[in-house]
Copies of this chain bind each other. A is one copy, B any other.
Amino acid sequence: MLCSRILLRKSCEDVLRLGVRTGHPRFFNQISCGLDLVSMAGEWLTATANTNMFTYEIAPVFILMEKSVMARMWEAVGWDPEKADGIFAPGGAIANLYAMNAARHQLWPRSKHLGMKDIPTLCCFTSEDSHYSIKSASAVLGIGADYCFNIPTDKNGKMIPEALEAKIIECKKEGLTPFFACCTAGSTVYGAFDPLERVANICERHKLWFHVDAAWGGGMLLSPEHRYKLAGIERANSVTWNPHKLMGALLQCSACLFRQDGLLFQCNQMSADYLFQQDKPYDVSFDTGDKAIQCGRHNDVFKLWLMWKSKGMEGYRQQINKLMDLANYFTRRIKETEGFELIIENPEFLNICFWYVPSKIRNLEPAEMRARLEKIAPKIKAGMMQRGTTMVGYQPDKQRPNFFRMIISNQAITREDLDFLIKEIVDIGESLE
């Protein structure tokens, strides 16, 4: 070996030492779901088994496991597990791509073979606060990002259903063919839940595929206390749900679920008989290769299955309720601490967006205050990173200067960690020039 074992070990230590501690309870940056040890053990065993999920003959246990875990997810969504379908995808963006591709296929199956040239001009809809992967899917699929229309949201970040319906009607008048509407359940920045029932009604009325991007909020289905925020999700044609977010599974673990069986296969199979032989000594309907856009597919389900087995439904319920309690605590603390301002007064999920306004700029005119605020959050964050004490994300939105977006999704977070963050922001904020 070129490199001795001692050197290799030293390298590994360096890598872990120099990396960001994403599992730390004071890491509140994007996708900060902590490090669940059962999930980690599952991932270690997954690596040991080193399986490919494309045929039952190679991965018999894991294929069955995927089916049984998906059955739990279908039931949580409210679907008949006998009729539903789905696939684990490498992340929510690809899951959303799967959904939009299937929607196109259902409407225009010939597009699979003949492309988009000779079919009507398709268009789709998603809220202006939705994840960019919906627009990206529209670009990748050849529909075009500009034919993915952003529907305005209300002051809480929820899609306005009347605006959606008006846009659908306008598109039809202009000769476009609306085919797909996406609701977000747990938006990236504000954690908003779009009004699923009302959008479902609109999709029914206009015969649109109804997709729910619950990548972030899907885990809330496991809390009977908070599930009502997703009421109507059972009416969706497809749902993206990332257990690597709220459910705390290690990246990657993302499911694209379909109410109706069969479509995924019709849409994605390429009749590759050289890989997916039909004359095998078992029921080849267990082979998933023909359902996937991918060929080799990583086993993302084992860690989730193991976590679920370990926590049970009750464990997940408690975990999610506890996070919601912490979010309420943090919101309360923000409200009562001088200098903090909430963007959305009463957050309904685990995202808490706020400004910190240092005392020396509190009395400025609005325009100047705005200009100063734009730079405060980046500077405070840079200060945190220099100190190495904590990390939290920030961003502007279309009408507001940079604000912090706090995400509470790591099971290891305590009230003390939240208090610490508030103190640290005040401390760095007040010390700025």
Are A395 and B277 interface neighbours, CB within 8 A? yes
Residues of B within 8 Å of A222, CB to CB, are none
Which size bracket describes the interface of A in this complex? 35 or more
Cα–Cα distance between A398 and B135 once the two chains are bound (Å)? 40
Q: Residue of B at shortest CB range from A36?
A: B50
Q: Is the CB of B302 within 8 A of A59?
A: no
Contact A60 B20 (CB under 8 A): yes
Tell me if A252 counts as interface (CB < 8 A to partner B): yes
Within the assembled complex, what's the spacing in Å between the Cα atoms of A253 and B283?
30
- For A46-66 the 0/1 string (1 means CB < 8 A from B) is 011111101101111110010
With A51-B20, A52-B30 as contacts: A294 and B115 at CB distance below 8 Å = no
**B50 touching A306, Cβ below 8 Å:** no
Who on chain B is nearest to A312 by CB? B2
Whether B294 and A94, one on each chain, are in contact in the complex, defined by CB atoms closer than 8 angstroms, is yes
> What is the bound-complex CA distance between A23 and B136, given in angstroms?
37
CB-nearest residue of chain B relative to A295? B93
Q: Is the CB of B295 within 8 A of A92?
A: yes
On chain B, the residues within 8 Å of A302 by CB distance are 15
The 0/1 profile, CB within 8 Å of B marked 1, for residues 270-281 of chain A is: 111111010111
Q: Are A144 and B111 in contact (CB under 8 A)?
A: yes
CA distance A272 to B314 in the complex (A): 36
Bound-state CA distance A228–B75 (Å) is 55
Residues of B within 8 A of A114 (CB): 144, 146-147
The reply to whether B131 and A19 form a contact with Cβ atoms under 8 Å apart is no
**Which residues of A (7-32) have their CB < 8 Å from a CB of B?**
8, 11-12, 15-16, 18-20, 22-23, 29-31
Each complex incorporates copies of this chain amounting to: 2
Closest residue of B by beta carbon distance from A133: B295
**Contacts of A250 on B, CB cut-off 8 Å?**
47, 50
Stretch at the interface among A37-45, A163-171, A201-209, A361-369: A37-45
Judge if A326 is at the interface, Cβ distance under 8 Å: no
- Among residues of B, the one whose C-beta sits closest to the C-beta of A15 is B61
Assess whether A117 is in contact with B113, with CB atoms less than 8 Å apart.
no
Given contacts A8-B309, A295-B133, A314-B2, contact A141 B140 (CB under 8 A): yes
- Report if A262 contacts B (CB, 8 A): no
Is A370 among interface residues, defined by CB-CB distance under 8 A? no
Give the Cβ gap from A279 to chain B, nearest Cβ, in Å: 5
Q: Besides A31-B58, A50-B250, A113-B146, 20 other CB < 8 A contacts?
A: A1-B315, A3-B309, A15-B45, A15-B49, A19-B61, A20-B58, A20-B60, A51-B251, A57-B385, A90-B90, A90-B94, A91-B295, A93-B294, A94-B94, A114-B146, A115-B122, A132-B295, A136-B268, A242-B296, A280-B382
7 examples of A-B residue contacts, CB within 8 angstroms: A2-B314, A19-B61, A40-B50, A44-B47, A112-B139, A132-B271, A273-B396
A-B pairs with the 10 shortest C-beta distances? A142-B142, A2-B312, A115-B144, A90-B90, A43-B47, A116-B116, A132-B272, A116-B142, A132-B270, A281-B382
